[in-house]
Structures are given as C-alpha cells and as structure tokens.
Amino acid sequence: MENAVLLKAIIDNAIDGLITIDDQGIVESINPAACRLFDYPAEEVIGENISILMPQPDKSNHDQHLLNHRETGKANIIGIGRELIGMKKNGSYFPFRLGVSEVKYSGRIVYAGFIHDLTREKEAEGKLLDYAAQLETQVEERTHSLRMSVDALKRTQVDLNLSLEKEKEFGQLKSRFVSIASHEFRTPLSLVQLSASLIERYSESLDQKNIGKHVGKIKDAVLNITAILNDFLSLEKLDSGMVKPSLSHFNLSEMAEEITGEMQVVLRGKQQIIFKHRGTNQKVTLDQNLLKNCIIILIDNAIKYSGDDSQIQFYTKINDHNCTIRICDDGIGIPESDHKHLFEAFFRAHNTGNISGNGLGLSILSRYTGLMNGHISFKSRVNRGTIFTLTFPQKNNHEQKSIDN
C-alpha cells in the first residue's frame, strides 16, 4: 500500500506528461502535467480516444498503428524520441517528444506514453537558425566588400611599368597574393560554414557548451576576414595618397600604457607585455593615430609569432633629438634570406608555416613610419626572437616650448 501511494505521488508530481491507454486507444489515466500540457481536466480525457489530443495526420496514423498492432501483434507505436504535434483543448498546437512503452499485466496490454514538451527547445532552435542566417548575410557582405577592394587593387596594378623586370615583380606579387588570399579567406569561411552546421546539430539537444564554442568560432572567423579587409583598405588609401600625417603634441608614455592594456585581450596562454618608458621627457610631436597603428602592428606580430609563455618587451624613450620605440620578442625570428623582402606587400617569411597573416602589416608599418619622417631598424635570429626599433626626429625642448606658446 505504501509503495502504491509513493508511485502515485511520483506520477502526479512528474514534470513530463504521462498518459496510459488500452489496446483500443482509450485513455485510462492522465497525470497533472499532461493535463496542463493539453489544457484538459482529467475527467474530460479519461474514457475518450487518445486521438482527441492529436491533429491530422497524426490522429489517423495513430489509429492505424493500433489497428496494425491488433492484427499483426507488432507494436509500431512503441519507441523513444518520436517528435509529434499535440492539440490543446482550444485547438492550438504544441510540439512534444513521445516515448511509448508496452505494459502487460493481468492478461491485458496497456500503453504508457511519456510526453516531453518541446516548445522552448523549438523556439531556441528557431532563434539559433535566425542567428546563423544573420551571420551568413554578414559574411556575404564582407566577401562582397573584399571583392570590391581586390578589384580596386587590380586597377592600380594595371598602371605598373610593363618592362620585363617590373612584369616579373608583378607576377611574383600576384602569386603571393593568390596564395595568401586562398589560405586566409578560405579557412575562416570554411570555419563559418562548419560551425553553422554544428550549431544546427547541437541545437537539437541544446548542447549549450558546443553551441557557444562554435558561435565563438564564427565570430572569430568574421573578425579575421574584417581585419584582412581593413589591411587591404589601408594599403589602398596609402597607394592613392589619401593618408596624410596630422601632427599633435601628446604624452607618448600614457598612449603606450593604454596600448599595453588594450593588447592584453589578444595575448595567448601566459604571454606578458612588459612596458617601460625611459627618460623624464614624455611628450612627442607626431601623428598619434599613425603611431598607435605602428605600435599595434609590431606588438600583434610579437604575440602571433611567440610562444604561449613568452614575454614581449615594449620600450619608449625620448631625448632632445629623437623619439625611440622598441618592441622585443623571443619568438620564431626571421630567416636572414628574408630580411631584404620583409617590408614588401604580401611578403611573408618562409618559416611562418600555418600562422595566420596576409603579409601587409609590416608594409603598412613602413609607409606610416615614412609619412612621419621616421626610420625602422630590426635585428632577428631564427628561434631566438626579433627586435624592431622605430626612430622619429623630434624638436628640442626649447623649440617645442616656442611652438606650444
């Protein structure tokens, strides 16, 4: 008796619905959860055919399953995980997952149906599909913009001198671009496509961990394409003479500390950026935006080509004649044979392997530095690291005070 009371309490308080029917499809019992799902009181369902809770064609199909079972003895309605549509008392529909068990006792057969409401899961799945569609649209828009940028780059190439040597250089440039674009664009786009497919699969079971992981991969891939496109646009502006330095007098040390903080988010593993300003003078007269871009390019490369436990040294120094910025890393280094090509557009050192990059960063850095009358020098050894030094001429303190006044 105590076991029967406990069993009834469990059934009455179950989250999922439970309905039992006989071999004719007549409802023998329904628990409170099922009553809430179908919006029927128990007395209006018990004694009725289960088909009152089903829309067409499930209603007809269910009756046929029962008929086949009575005639053949094969229980086609038995199973776990079938997705069906339920019909409430007011005629509205909702999705649910049905598991059916056959129970034999006292010489008769009863079917127990376990009903799990899928309304929230289906709504979440719909939102994920909408989000995936939005991401696909964004990728298409970025790809279209990229094509326009590449077309603009090709238009500048047709103006190159058609001499034999220039033609050879152009062929090499094109070869590098095709190689890099083929790898750098295809990989993130393939990742977007794969992750979108995996999101669709994981959404069936609401695997939040894997859904979040692949949504993150899609975002990273789109950001990667955007960064590549921005480099192309920067190169185009430089080639067309649209970039002009705008000088201002600002605190270099404060800007460097700000950049150090901003770059923390892209560090890998246990990487660290160690910044130090040398000297008492902290202000320089340069284009602040161009200089910031130069520093970010160098620090980003140091992060990219260094190990997960590496330290990146970042120094600034100002005296009466020069401003010096130095970025040091202990990464993979640059082969000596590649030094003379390092600042060419689309050129990448031969030891970069599968590390992402488009070969434009140092070319843009060189041209930004030149616009500010600066000079670049570097030292590098394979597997020992690289030191880049930017030097910019500065007016002495007396001349600067005269300008400020």
| Cβ count near 274 (within 10 Å) | 11
* 1-117 and 248-393 in the same fold: no
Q: For 248-393, give the CATH class.
A: alpha beta
- Write the single-letter amino acid at 33: A
The arrangement of strands across the sheet holding 108-117 comes to 27-30, 17-22, 108-117, 93-105, 79-87
Token couple for 8: 């009834």
Cis peptide before 32 (omega within 30 of 0): no
User: CA 376: distance to chain centroid?
Assistant: 35
d(CA 286, CA 291): 7
Helix residue ranges, H only, 203-276: 208-239, 252-262
Q: Is the pLDDT of residue 134 over 50?
A: yes
Domain ranges of the chain: 1-117, 123-240, 248-393
Its CATH architecture, for the domain 123-240, is Orthogonal Bundle (1.10)
Helix (H) or strand (E) holding 37: helix 32-38
pLDDT: is 60 or 205 the higher one? 60
Question: How does pLDDT run across 68-77, given as a tens digit for each residue?
Answer: 666 665 554 4
- Write the single-letter amino acid at 314: F
Q: Is the pLDDT of residue 290 over 60?
A: yes
d(CA 325, CA 169): 32
Q: What is the mean pLDDT of the chain?
A: 80
Which phi and psi angles does 93 have, rounded to 5°? -110, 155
Question: How does pLDDT run across 311-323, given as a tens digit for each residue?
Answer: 999 999 998 889 9
Q: Which of 17-31, 99-113, 201-215, 352-366 has the lowest average pLDDT?
A: 201-215
Token couple for 26: 């007549």
**Cβ(18)–Cβ(30) below 8 Å:** yes
**Cβ(317)–Cβ(380) below 8 Å:** no
pLDDT of the residue at 1: 60
Q: Is CATH 2.170.130.10 the classification given to domain 1-117? A: no
Residue 402: pLDDT band with limits 50, 70, 90: very low
d(CA 144, CA 274): 40
pLDDT: is 227 or 86 the higher one? 86
